[in-house]
Amino acid sequence: MAWDFSTDPDFQVQLDWVAEFCEQEVEPLELLFPYAVRMKDPKMRALVMPLQAEVKQRGLWAIFLDRELGGPGFGQVKLALLNEVIGRYSTAPSIFGCQAPDTGNMEILAAYGTEAQKERWLYPLMNQEIWSAFSMTEPEGGSDPSLFKTTAVRDGDEWVINGEKWFTSAGRHADILFVVCTNGIYIVPRDTPGVEVLDEPRTHDHIKYKDVRLPLDHLLGPEDGARLLAQRRLGGGRIHHAMRAIAQCRRAFDMMCERALSRQSHGRVIAEHQMVQGAIADSYAEINMLRLLVLWTAWTIDNSSTAEARTQIAACKYTAARVLREVTYRAVHIFGSLGVTDLTPLRQMWAGAPTMAVMDGVDEVHKVTVARNVLQGYRPHEGPWPSEYLPAKRAAAREKFAAAMAADPDLERYSEAMLRRASRH
């Protein structure tokens, strides 16, 4: 049998360690020092680095990277299984060296960067000596490259960038920005003159680039290669977001079930009410369907490529957003008034679902991609009737059995009797 739903026993040992490590070490750090992983203050680094050292000792650092780039080379399936655990905690990805948006930026640097670019930016990113952001979306054109207006024009031995970007996640805290222009992707140090990070919004930054001058070697990959590089980066990023969404869904589900067994209403625990049972049952099924879709997609990537799994990745992206929205919404309702406060993670998790539905391309665009790709495997039927039109199929079947029924008239009588009987139901 080619299908296998089990986890490698040795890796399961690692996952069990990760679960315990995150609960006992990462979550307490996150609760008291939520931004410590991205701070360069020596006192904060002293709290973070010992945890990262433990991860490295376990061979789980930068798990998304191949061995030649300093990672363990485990592939996407094991990364998905790991993300099911660490995705419960916002700090954990950075503790394990696989945090967004740096992961995607490291991937395209590794694939398309020159040796000099890798030395200057890739390896410091891997070691978290610097941080990065991906500056692609524009206020008017969204994430559609055909509508981008940000340009990079060559002027002697420099590039001059002009344009405006929106939703550059963690841009104000980044050391380098991967700026998608009409003719390529350029690596821009954030402190370069002409880079202006606006005050709002605070998390997904609005950045203006005005006469930003860069050396020629700051172009990543070929000129006019922006679409190719961006698709490779975003494809990996979307599946990684979906992996972590499973963890968020499971966390909301765990909270939902615990609450259902603890809260009473109308003289009995609410777990005995059918509407609550329906919410739990629907959530259970949706989470596991999402999980299998993501793992199947990760398996496809491991056995082919991100490009080959494009349709599956798109399906993962919008399915993850929908399941996260539905599960967290149900959990909020089971918690009641407590669920809409900041005293549990639920409100923040639910608020993150709409963000997931628009980042890296809105869900509607990905549904169009899936539909178009799926329909390429089909053809229109000939004539007025569909291929499953039963009268035509019965006529073909009758032709197939014509000789047998001619030799034995009882067969024809049996057939007619059975069809009359079937037509009455």
| Residue the block writes with tokens 């099924």 | 285
Give the model's confidence band at 152: pLDDT under 50 very low, under 70 low, under 90 confident, else very high: very high
pLDDT at 186 over 70: yes
CA 101, CA 64: separation in Å to the nearest integer? 13
Pair 141, 147: CB distance under 8 Å? yes
Assigned token pair, 181: 């222009």
| Residue the block writes with tokens 């996952």 | 15
169: helix, coil or strand? strand
Give the model's confidence band at 146: pLDDT under 50 very low, under 70 low, under 90 confident, else very high: confident
pLDDT tens readout for residues 357-381: 888 788 999 999 999 999 999 999 9
More confidently predicted of 72 and 314 = 314
pLDDT, position 235: 66
pLDDT, position 340: 93
Assigned token pair, 311: 């349709």
State the CATH class of domain 9-99: mainly alpha
Mean pLDDT calculated for residue range 20-39? 95
Q: State phi, psi for 385 to the nearest 5 degrees.
A: -110, 145
Q: Quote the Cα angle for 74-26-343, to 5°.
A: 125
Q: Kind and range of the H or E element at 177?
A: strand 176-181
| Residue the block writes with tokens 């680039």 | 209
Q: Which has the minimum average pLDDT: 20-29, 64-73, 388-397?
A: 64-73
pLDDT, position 144: 81
Residue 409's identity, in one-letter code, is P
pLDDT, position 89: 95
Residues sharing a CB contact under 8 Å with residue 270, sequence separation 6 or more, in sequence order: 259, 260, 263, 264, 276, 334
Domain positions in the chain = 9-99, 132-220, 227-375, 391-423
CA 243, CA 63: separation in Å to the nearest integer? 14
Mean pLDDT calculated for residue range 381-404? 93
Q: Are strands 158-169 and 219-220 parallel, antiparallel or unpaired?
A: unpaired
pLDDT at 74 over 90: no
CA 359, CA 100: separation in Å to the nearest integer? 13
pLDDT at 229 over 90: no
pLDDT, position 107: 87
Residue 260's identity, in one-letter code, is A
Q: Give how far the C-alpha of residue 194 lies from the chain's centroid of Cα atoms, to the nearest Å.
A: 32
Length of the chain as a residue count: 425
Q: Are strands 219-220 and 176-181 parallel, antiparallel or unpaired?
A: unpaired
pTM assigned to the model: 0.89
Fold of 132-220: Butyryl-CoA Dehydrogenase, subunit A; domain 2 (2.40.110)
pLDDT, position 307: 85
Q: State phi, psi for 132 to the nearest 5 degrees.
A: -135, 170
pLDDT, position 2: 62
pLDDT, position 3: 72
Question: Considering only CA atoms, which of 246, 321, 241, 323 is closest in space to residue 64?
Answer: 241
pLDDT, position 212: 98
CATH architecture type of domain 227-375: Up-down Bundle (1.20)
Give percent of the chain with pLDDT exceeding 90: 77
Q: Number of helices (H) and strands (E), helices first, in the chain?
A: 16, 10
pLDDT, position 313: 94
pLDDT tens readout for residues 290-311: 999 999 999 999 999 888 999 9
Q: 227-375: same fold as 132-220?
A: no
Residue 32's identity, in one-letter code, is L
Mean pLDDT calculated for residue range 389-418? 92
Assigned token pair, 184: 């390529």
Q: Are strands 176-181 and 132-135 parallel, antiparallel or unpaired?
A: parallel
Q: State phi, psi for 408 to the nearest 5 degrees.
A: -135, 95
| Residue 189, phi-psi category: left (phi > 0), alpha (psi -120 to 50), beta (remainder) | beta
Q: Taking the CA atoms of the chain, what radius of gyration do you get in angstroms?
A: 27
Residue 215's identity, in one-letter code, is P
What letter does residue 100 receive in the DSSP assignment?
T
pLDDT, position 385: 94
pLDDT, position 337: 94
Question: Considering only CA atoms, which of 82, 81, 52, 76 is closest in space to residue 64?
Answer: 76
pLDDT tens readout for residues 93-142: 999 999 988 988 998 898 899 999 999 999 999 999 999 999 999 998 88
Mean pLDDT of the chain: 92
